[in-house]
Amino acid sequence: MNPEKDFAPLTPNIVRALNDKLYEKRKVAALEIEKLVREFVAQNNTVQIKHVIQTLSQEFALSQHPHSRKGGLIGLAACSIALGKDSGLYLKELIEPVLTCFNDADSRLRYYACEALYNIVKVARGAVLPHFNVLFDGLSKLAADPDPNVKSGSELLDRLLKDIVTESNKFDLVSFIPLLRERIYSNNQYARQFIISWILVLESVPDINLLDYLPEILDGLFQILGDNGKEIRKMCEVVLGEFLKEIKKNPSSVKFAEMANILVIHCQTTDDLIQLTAMCWMREFIQLAGRVMLPYSSGILTAVLPCLAYDDRKKSIKEVANVCNQSLMKLVTPEDDEPDELRPGQRQAEPAPDDALPKQEGTAQGGAMTPWERAMVGVISALPPGLTHSTERAPVTLHLDGIVKKKNCHLSDTAIGMMTRIAVLKWLYHLYIKTPRKMFRHTDSLFPILKKKLSDESDEVILKDLEVLAEIASSPAGQTDDPGPLDGPDLRASHSELQVPTLGRAGLLNTSKKNSPEGTKGLECSPSTPTMNSYFYKFMINLLKRFSSERKLLEVRGPFIIRQLCLLLNAENIFHSMADILLREEDLKFASTMVHALNTILLTSTELFQLRNQLKDLKTLESQNLFCCLYRSWCHNPVTTVSLCFLTQNYRHAYDLIQKFGDLEVTVDFLAEVDKLVQLIECPIFTYLRLQLLDVKNNPYLIKALYGLLMLLPQSSAFQLLSHRLQCVPNPELLQTEDSLKAAPKSQKADSPSIDYAELLQHFEKVQNKHLEVRHQRSGRGDHLDRRVVL
C-alpha cells in the first residue's frame, strides 16, 4: 500500500493500524473508525460515510495484502456498528467486499470475513433480507469449508440469519427458490446439511408457504435422502415427513400432478430408504389426489408392480407398493370407457409440443442447464401425452395405451417375479371389466403374450391368465360383426386364423319334418352361446395350437387349463368348440391325444358334473347335438368313443363299436387305453352303469359290451378286475338277446329318432381308416415302431 496516498477522512494512525499484522492494533483502529463514523452519522454526513466505506472496501478489504484485507474487514464491521439502524442504507457496500473475502485462500481471512459479516447482519437485522440470496450463497460455501474455525463461525452467522428470517414476515420466497433449487443438488454432505436445515426453518415459519414450491425441490430432497451420512439422511427424513404432514392437512393446495413423475423416478431407485419413502408418498398421493393421478398410471405401475415380488427383506416396501397398486386400481371406473371428448382449443392425446423438451436439451448443449433442469428433462419426457403443459387444467384421462404397453413389457420380461406377473394379469382383468371397449383395441397385441403365459411355472399365474382370456372371450365388447351360419362359405373371412370348422348337416341328426327346424338351427348356429364373442373361437383355436406345438404343456397343465376354462366359461361351449376344431385337425396323432385328454377330463373332473349329467340321459335336443359333435371328434380315439357311449348310456352302439375293434390295428397303446377304461368303470363316475348290470333284461348290450372289452384284454389285472365284475351279474343265461331285439328295451338309445347311429358308425370307420393310412405312411418312411401285438 502506498504510504503517501491520502485516505482521508481516515487518519494516518488508523491506516497504519489497519495494515498491522497484529489483531489488537487492527482492533484499536476499528474502534477509531467506529468513533469517526458515529460523528458523521450525528452530522448526517452521508458523503463522508460512503467515502469511509468505499475506502475500507477498495483499499483494504479488496487489497492484495492479507493484513490490509483483515483490517478492511474489521473496519467495515465497525462502520456497521456505528451506523446502527442506518446501516440498512449502506448494506450493499458493506456486504459485497466481505462476501468476496469468503473465497480467500487464507482460512484465517475467511474466518475474519465471517466474523465481520456476523456483526454487520447483527446490527442490520431485518434490513439484510433484500440481500438474503447473496448471504445464503456465501454461507452455503462456508458450510462446506474444510477449516473447523471457519465452519464454526459460519454456523454462528447461519443461526443469526435463521433467527432474522423466522422473526420477519418480509422474506422473499419467490426469488429464493431458484437459488435453493440449484444448491439442493450439491454433493457435499455439509452443504446438504446446510440446505436441509434451511428448508426445515422455512417450513416451520407460518407466513412462508414452502408447499407451493415443493415440486421444484422434491427431486433434490430425495437425492439428499440417499446421502451416506446417517445424520443427513435422518434430517432429510424429518423434512420430507413434515412436508407430507402438511400435504395431508392441505391436500387442496398441493400440486400432485407436478410431483407424480418425480415420485415415479424415485420409487424405482435401488436405495431402500429412498424407495420406501417415495412409495409412501405415492400411496398418500393416490389416496389424497384420487383420479388426478390417473394420467400417470403407466409410470406409477412401472414403479410399483416390480416391488410386489420383493421378499421379506423388503417387506415394508412390498406392503406399501401393494396398497398403491390396489388404490390406483380402484380409481379406474366404467366412466373411463367413455370416448374421450375434445375440449375447445385442445387436442386430444397429442404428444408434447416440440418446444417442450428440445429447449431444455438445447440449454444442456450450451452447458448452462442446472441439475434441477437436467432432472426435469427425465420427468417431462415421462409425462403422459398432452400433459407437459397446463397440467392442472388438463382433463383427467386414463391413458390405456401407455398402461397396456407397460403390461406387455412386464409380461414379456421373464425375470419379473410371480407376484408381479399376477398383479399385471389382475390389472388386465380389471381393465377389461371396467373399460372393455377401450381394452379391446389392444387385444390383438395382448393375445400372443397371454397365450405364452399359459406355460408359466405358477398355477396361480395361469389361473389369472385364464381369467383374462375368459373375459376377452366372453365380454360383449369383443363381439364383432355377426359371423353368420357356421357352414357359410365366407365364414369370418376377414380372419384366416378364425376359420371355424363347419358341421356337415348330413348324418348328425335326422332332418325329418318333425325335427327339421330345431335340428337345422342346432347345426347352423355357432356352438358359442350369446355370452361368447368373436374372440372365443380364436382363443379355442390358438389354445389347441399351443397344445399341439407343446405336448408337455398339454401333459402337465392341459387338464388344469381346461378345467379352469370350464369354470370360467360355459363347459358345453368349451367341449363343443374343441370338438369342432379337432374334427378338422390334420395331425391325427395329436387329435387322438387331445381327444383322450378331453375325455379323461370329461369323465373325472368335478367341475364337469353338470355337463356329464346333461350327456347322461340325452333327453334334450341340445344334449343330443352335443353328443353328436363330441362323438365325431372322439372317433379319433376308439376307446374314448366307447367310453362316451358308456357315459351317454348308448350301450348298443358301444357294443357295435367294439365289434369293429376286430378290424383295427391293436397296439400296446390301444390295449393300455382299454385297461384304463376298465379301471374307470370301477370309479364313482360309472356307479349308475354298474348298478344297471343288475337289470340284465333291459341292459343286455351293456353286458355284451363289457364282455367285448374283456375279450380284447390279455390276461392282466384289468382282465381279472372286469371278469370279477361280470361274474357278479345275476342270471347269466339271460344274456341271449334274440327277444330283446324285438322288445326294444326302454333304456337303449339305439331307437332314438333324433340320432342316426348307423351314420355315426360309418363316421367312426372312416376316421379309423384315416388313422390306419397315416400309420402305414409312417411305416413306409421307416419312422414307425411296430408295436402291434400278435393275437
pLDDT number for residue 401 = 86
Confidence of residue 405 (pLDDT cuts 50, 70, 90): confident
Distances (CA, A) of 700 to 379, 454, 544, 594, 724: 81, 46, 39, 32, 18
DSSP at 540? H
C-alpha dihedral over 265, 268, 270, 271, to 10 degrees? 60
Distance CA 750, CA 452 (A): 45
Q: Where is average pLDDT lowest: 32-36, 425-429, 465-469, 505-509?
A: 505-509
> What is the third-level CATH fold of 1-170?
Leucine-rich Repeat Variant (1.25.10)
For the chain, percent of residues with pLDDT exceeding 70: 81
Average pLDDT of the residues in 685-697: 90
Cβ atoms 486, 524 nearer than 8 A? yes
DSSP assignment of 257-309 equals HHHHHHHHHHTT-S-HHHHHHHHHHHHHHHHHHGGGGGGGHHHHHHHHGGGGG
Mean pLDDT of 46-74: 92
At residue 218's C-alpha, the angle toward residues 214 and 222, to 5°, is: 155
- Tell me, what amino acid is at 228? N
Write down the mean pLDDT value for the chain. Answer: 82
Residue written as grid cell 348330413:
506
pLDDT over 80 at 748, yes or no: no
Cα-flanking dihedrals φ and ψ of residue 755, to 5°?
A: -120, 130
Helix and strand totals (H; E) in the chain? 39, 0
Instruction: Please name which of 523, 527, 503 lies closest in space to residue 511, comparing C-alpha atoms.
Output: 523
d(CA 180, CA 428): 43
What is the per-residue pLDDT for 129?
94
Domain ranges of the chain: 1-170, 400-478
**467 CB contacts (<8 Å, ≥6 apart)?**
425, 429, 568
Task: Please give the Cα distance from 442 to 407 (Å, whole number).
Answer: 11
- Residue 378 has what pLDDT? 46
Q: Where are the beta strands (DSSP E) in 254-371?
A: none
Per-residue pLDDT of 510-565, as tens digits, reads 333 333 333 333 333 344 343 577 889 889 999 999 999 999 999 999 999 999 99
Per-residue model confidence (pLDDT) at position 513: 34
Residue 667 forms beta bridges with which residues? 788
Q: How far apart are CA 766 and CA 316, in angstroms?
A: 65
pLDDT over 80 (residue 167): yes
- Give the whole-angstrom CA distance, residue 701 versus residue 93: 119
pLDDT tens per residue across span 318-341? 999 999 999 999 999 998 887 755
Q: Phi/psi of residue 397, each to 5°?
A: -130, 135
Residue 718 has a CB neighbour count (10 Å cut-off) of 22
Largest CA distance in the chain: 152
Residue written as cell 416390480? 306
Q: Are 308 and 325 in contact, with CB atoms under 8 Å apart?
A: yes
Q: 755 forms bridges with which residues in the sheet?
A: 509
pTM (predicted TM-score):
0.77
Q: How far is CA 679 from the centre of its chain?
A: 48
Nearest to 280 by CA among 270, 266, 299: 266
pLDDT tens profile 289-303: 999 999 999 999 999
pLDDT for position 774 = 83
| pLDDT above 90 (res 507) | no
C-beta of residue 547 within 8 angstroms of C-beta of residue 554: yes
In 416-469, DSSP assigns E strands to none
Predicted local distance difference test score (pLDDT) of residue 515: 35
CB of 472 within 8 A of CB of 443?
A: yes
Cα 68 from chain centre: 67
Long-range contacts of 611-617 (CB under 8 A, 24+ apart): 611/566, 611/571, 611/572, 611/575, 612/647, 612/685, 614/572, 615/644, 615/647, 615/648, 616/647, 616/648, 616/649, 616/688, 617/649
* Lowest-confidence segment of 370-374, 406-410, 462-466, 577-581 by average pLDDT: 370-374
